[in-house]
Amino acid sequence: MKLFMATLATETNTFSPIPTGQAAFMGERAWFRGDGSRQPAQIANIPLIAWRRLAAADGHAIAESLCTFAQPGGTTVRAVYEALREMLLADLRAAMPVEGVLLFLHGAMVAEGYDDCEGDTLERVRAIVGPDCVIGVELDLHCHLTEAMRRAADIIVTFKEYPHVDIAARAEEVYRLSLRRAAGEIRPVMALHDCRMISLWRTPMQPMRDFVDRMSALEGHDGILSVSFGHGFPWGDVADVGARMLVIADGDAARAQALAETLGRELWAMREATSTPYETIDGAIDLALLSEGGPLVLADVADNAGAGAPSDSTAILRRLVERGIEGAVSGCYWDPQAVGFCVEAGEGATFTLRIGGKCGVASGAPLDLEVRVRRLAESHSQAGLSGGRASFGPSAWVSAQGIDIVLVSQRQQTFAPDAFTGLGITLDDKRLVVVKSMQHFHAAFAPIARAIRYVAAPGAVPPDYAAIGFTKRRLPYWPRDADPFAV
């Protein structure tokens, strides 16, 4: 059997001030064509690595195309999306005939003129390969699950975990179901259920932990092949924004639809219990002052680069300085200009540095601090998702008024403690660690944290879901509507 595979992905925050263009796909992160699966693991190629390994073990041939995953940002430039899509389609035409297509997409990619890039790409892939070729797709769980995707693909599986620690496992699931479909062992049918909710669900916490485990337990029984919960990406202004259940059954569309609706009702019943409480900046700082025994980790969720924010807001840092808080660490700030100034000044230098506040209104005002340059790195990185690495590029550790600050040249959310310790910063002796991340930090920071709190500071991805300025979603949703099913 011959299989074709590719990655073409980004997560689009349509409210972000940062355009997503050619450099985002071809320069800042992964960019490979034909050999991404042979590169060191990072988020873009983890599924490709798994698919190549499995195909080799089973004796199948692989034709590989693009491997690119742009850092989340604003709407993708139309010409850039169309060019990347056409590269993928050209490689597919050159590889024909193939019996299977395996794609790692995001599910929330928006380009100028294309609110559903994944649906558009899948429809074009289907037009090339015909109705008999199996198309298997892995999506981020922060996706907009659409009818166009469902119609064009045979198998769609989303990550189950947030943080995304199961990317490789879900890739293996896509592979096995796709090959069973190609061999005629199963007849997958997919059903979607709109939960009419827009929120954020953190899977390590109860009751979500039990719900995810229940999803997994349902698979492989009573004709149910796969269960996915598409959490949705709240900061995408598209018609299909919001949470959806996706169930794949073996030849029984009614069974798939019934289970999707049942699970959707279970989620609805848990809506309050699964909502995250958010602290104010000062409230979170007060908590850090109350207790000892390891750092309190604060998540600056609204300035999360992983959701398209600039990661250069100084709102929390400013209050730490104003309140004279020492023994704190904060990062990682996307500020290439500040990094350049630190490099020019050199390690050990002390000077006044303007930090952050450069990308727009959501970034707030810059902060001027007398800093000491403690450490410089030409190519700093951190542990990434599902065993990969994530690059920060040239980076600097500076200290000011008892606070350690990490400045980076490549916009990236904070995933792991080595974002700090890799530059020489110690964490076990700190009172407070502020991470610019929404949830992906949790897996690596929880073991060292006294506690974790989520802070609703100003930023480009504010967690007030009822107030997001949607113009394209027509159906009511919670929490904007108390009962969206009654409207």
| DSSP states of 293-350 | SSPEEEEEGGG-GGGT--S---HHHHHHHHTT--SEEEEEEE-HHHHHHHHHH-TT-E
Task: Tokens 């897996």: give the residue.
Answer: 443
- Whether residue 441 contacts residue 297, with contact meaning beta carbons closer than 8 Å, is answered with yes
268/266 Cα distance (integer angstroms):
5
Q: Judge whether 112 and 14 are in contact, CB under 8 Å.
A: no
Looking at residue 153, the DSSP 8-state letter turns out to be -
Tokens at residue 176, please? 């096995």
155-158 and 350-355: which strand pairing?
unpaired
Query: How is 335-359 classified by DSSP, letter by letter?
Result: -HHHHHHHHHH-TT-EEEEEES--S
Q: What kind and span of H or E run contains 171?
A: helix 167-182
CA distances from 474 to 10, 109, 196 (A): 24, 20, 11
CB neighbours of 423 closer than 8 A, spacing ≥ 6?
374, 375, 377, 380, 395, 397, 406
Nearest to 157 by CA among 386, 169, 251, 55: 169
* Low-confidence residues of the chain: pLDDT under 50: none
Q: Are 412 and 387 in contact (CB under 8 A)?
A: no
Give the position of tokens 């964490």: 427
Residue 53 CB partners (closer than 8 Å, separation 6+): none
Q: For residues 248 and 260, is the Cβ–Cβ distance under 8 A?
A: no
Task: List for the chain the helix, strand, coil content (%; round to 5).
Answer: 30, 25, 40
Q: Which helix (H) or strand (E) holds 208?
A: helix 208-218
What is the Cα–Cα distance from 32 to 137, expressed in whole angstroms? Answer: 19
pLDDT digits (tens, 9 = 90+) for 407-420: 999 999 999 999 99
Confidence (pLDDT) at 292? 77
Q: What is the pTM of this model?
A: 0.94
Strands 61-69 and 2-9: parallel
Tell me what pLDDT residue 28 has.
63
- Give the list of residues 6+ apart from residue 226 with CB closer than 8 angstroms, or none: 155, 157, 173, 177, 219, 247, 248
Residue 22: closest CA among 87, 104, 78: 78
**Which long-range contacts link 264-267 to residues 24+ away (Cβ below 8 Å)?**
264/193, 264/194, 264/195, 266/211, 267/195, 267/197, 267/211, 267/229, 267/243
Rounded to whole angstroms, the Cα distance separating 154 from 250 reads 11
The H or E element containing residue 81 is helix 78-95
| Torsion (CA) 91, 106, 131, 251 in degrees, nearest 10 | 150
- Give CA–CA dist 235/232, Å, rounded: 9
Q: Is the peptide bond between 207 and the residue preceding it cis, with omega within 30 degrees of 0? A: yes
Q: Tokens in use for 417? A: 């403690």
Residue 468 φ then ψ, to 5°: -65, 140
Following DSSP, what letter does each residue of 403-447 receive, concatenated? EEEEEESS-----STHHHHTTT---TT-SEEEES-SSTTHHHHGG
